[in-house]
Amino acid sequence: MARICGQTNCNFDANGQGRCETGDCNGVLECQGYGSPPNTLAKFVMNQPNNLDYVDISLVDGFNIPMDFSPTTNVCRGLRCSADINGQCPAELKAPGGCNNPCTVFKTNEYCCTDGLEAVGQQHSLDLQGKVSRCLQLPSR
């Protein structure tokens, strides 16, 4: 599986040392792990059963930039997360350059599912229905 996160407002020196406002990778240009929240995340999983590849756009680490995957053929449909989530972010979840998810901010089971159960926290959930179109895991060929 490959994970790619959006980074914004980055400034690096010639040695690849620096910082990003969102999606920072511990101060280095070449990420060796995951970028720090908030960041919009793209995930790719290749060569799955039935020779399918999967791509999805996730807001599990929050949101910082819109993402769009547009296929070059008509074999599969594209994915797009282009809503103004930063502009609609509740005050408690706002971060410089982005919008955190509730788990990052509150660190409780209600939002993080740490006991293996489904998250039930609705108070700080963003109403994304209709704002984020088709940000799901979809097979492609």
pLDDT tens sequence across 94-126: 999 999 999 899 998 888 877 765 555 555 555
Note down the domain range covering 55: 2-6+38-140
Domain count, the chain: 1
Please check whether residue 18 lies inside any domain of the structure: no
Please check whether residue 48 lies inside any domain of the structure: yes
Dump pLDDT digits (tens) for 61-70.
899 999 988 8
Domain containing residue 131: CATH number: 2.60.110.10
Burial 99-122 (b: 16+ CB within 10 A, else e): bbbbbbbbeeebbeeeeeeebeee
The pLDDT assigned to 90 comes to 92
The pLDDT assigned to 133 comes to 41
Please check whether residue 134 lies inside any domain of the structure: yes
Please check whether residue 29 lies inside any domain of the structure: no
Please check whether residue 31 lies inside any domain of the structure: no
The pLDDT assigned to 99 comes to 95
Please check whether residue 20 lies inside any domain of the structure: no
| pTM passes above 0.95 | no
